[in-house]
């Protein structure tokens, strides 16, 4: 007999192999797989297996952890895993819309620099294109997903420039803000994002440029700390050398981040606000 969790197991392998698409894609893929698994016969009796599989897909991504936790807690309340998974996705969609509305926080045309391809940062910028005089995007090597964001923004008519990661010190003085996304935010305020984010934040701090982290509350990890949060690794082939392993993400300390922009608005980057936001999110999902 076919295991009802086969769709989820296939999704886990796909998420593990992915090198470019981030937390938003991984969440959508996992939710779709949970729904398919329930359609195949999975129930709350499989909740522990479902949760473990989701977490193991990518331990660095907080939305996957929160999805797994919500499924476990939802089953305690009599909600089948697919219903809870849909509610998580609904919460994410509403959060993204609220973040788009917060684009009004930037009241005049500003110049920014960002790294990698955050769907949340993209949504913020596209929601208020007139407020962005220029967007500088780092290539985000290895992987180079920054080029995808730059192309998307350029095609929308925004003034965009793609630059090598190493050019950051030469260009940081031109911008008003550094805006970055997050794949996870630890309970002590460490920002986990694409490799190179910490270096960008450090350069920003030396130049007196505020760093704004843009994320929804699904990115907040309620248990992990800056020291304990796991970092996934990948490998690539360096011409003339061979295989090289590298961490997908780095950790930016709370002290290097000035503000957070979430579905709750703009706030100073403080741990107490993070915990409150996470608790409100879980309450809304499980109600």
Q: Residues 238, 232: contact at Cβ < 8 Å?
A: no
Distance, in Å, from the CA atom of 268 to the CA atom of 245, rounded to the nearest integer, reads 35
Q: Which of 183, 188, 216, 227 is catalytic?
A: 183
Distance, in Å, from the CA atom of 217 to the CA atom of 12, rounded to the nearest integer, reads 23
**Which CATH superfamily, name and number, covers 6-95?**
translation initiation factor eif-2b, domain 1 (1.20.120.420)
Burial (CB count within 10 angstroms: exposed 0-12, middle 13-18, buried 19+), residue 83: middle
Distance, in Å, from the CA atom of 238 to the CA atom of 149, rounded to the nearest integer, reads 24
CATH of domain 99-286: 3.40.50.10470
Q: Tell me: cis bond preceding 186? Omega within 30 of 0 counts.
A: no
Taking only the tens place, the pLDDT of each residue in 113-170 is 999 999 999 999 999 899 999 999 999 998 899 999 999 999 999 999 999 999 999 9
Collapse the DSSP code of 217 into the 3-class scheme (helix H, G, I; strand E, B; otherwise coil) and give the result.
Answer: helix
pTM listed for this prediction: 0.93
Average pLDDT over residues 66-79: 97
Distance, in Å, from the CA atom of 36 to the CA atom of 56, rounded to the nearest integer, reads 19
Q: Residues 189, 28: contact at Cβ < 8 Å?
A: no
pLDDT at 107: 77
Taking only the tens place, the pLDDT of each residue in 158-211 is 999 999 999 999 999 999 999 999 999 999 999 999 999 999 999 999 999 999
Distance, in Å, from the CA atom of 54 to the CA atom of 233, rounded to the nearest integer, reads 17
Q: Where are the domains of the chain?
A: 6-95, 99-286
Q: Pairing relation of β-strands 132-138 and 110-115?
A: parallel
Known catalytic membership, residue 183: yes
Start-to-end CA distance of the chain, whole Å, equals 35
pLDDT at 143: 87
Q: Residues 178, 211: contact at Cβ < 8 Å?
A: yes
CA neighbor of 257 nearest in space, from 176, 187, 196, 178: 178
């Amino acid at each position: 007999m076919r295991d009802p969790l086969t769709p989820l197991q296939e999704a886990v392998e796909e998420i593990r192999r992915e090198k470019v698409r981030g937390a938003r894609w991984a969440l959508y893929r996992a939710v779709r797989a949970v729904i398919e698994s329930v359609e195949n016969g999975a129930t709350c009796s499989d909740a522990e297996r479902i949760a473990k599989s989701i977490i193991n897909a990518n331990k660095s991504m907080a939305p996957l952890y929160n999805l797994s936790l919500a499924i476990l807690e939802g089953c305690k309340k009599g909600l089948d895993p697919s219903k809870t998974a849909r509610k998580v996705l609904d919460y994410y969609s509403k959060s993204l819309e609220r973040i788009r509305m917060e684009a009004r926080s930037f009241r005049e045309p500003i110049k920014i620099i960002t790294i990698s391809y955050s769907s949340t940062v993209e949504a913020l910028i596209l929601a208020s294109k007139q407020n962005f005089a220029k967007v500088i995007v780092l290539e985000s090597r290895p992987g180079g997903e920054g080029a995808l964001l730059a192309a998307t923004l350029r095609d929308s008519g925004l003034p965009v420039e793609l630059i090598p990661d190493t050019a950051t010190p030469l260009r940081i003085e031109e911008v008003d803000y550094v805006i970055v996304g997050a794949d996870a935010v630890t309970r002590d305020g460490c920002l986990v994002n694409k490799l190179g984010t910490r270096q960008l934040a450090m350069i920003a701090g030396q130049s007196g440029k505020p760093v704004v982290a843009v994320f929804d509350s699904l990115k907040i990890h309620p248990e992990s700390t800056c020291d304990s949060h796991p970092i996934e690794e990948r490998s690539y082939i360096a011409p003339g050398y061979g295989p090289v392993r590298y961490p997908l993400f780095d950790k930016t300390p709370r002290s290097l981040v000035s503000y957070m922009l979430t579905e709750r608005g703009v706030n100073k980057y403080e741990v107490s606000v993070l915990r409150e936001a996470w608790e409100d999110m879980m309450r809304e999902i499980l109600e």
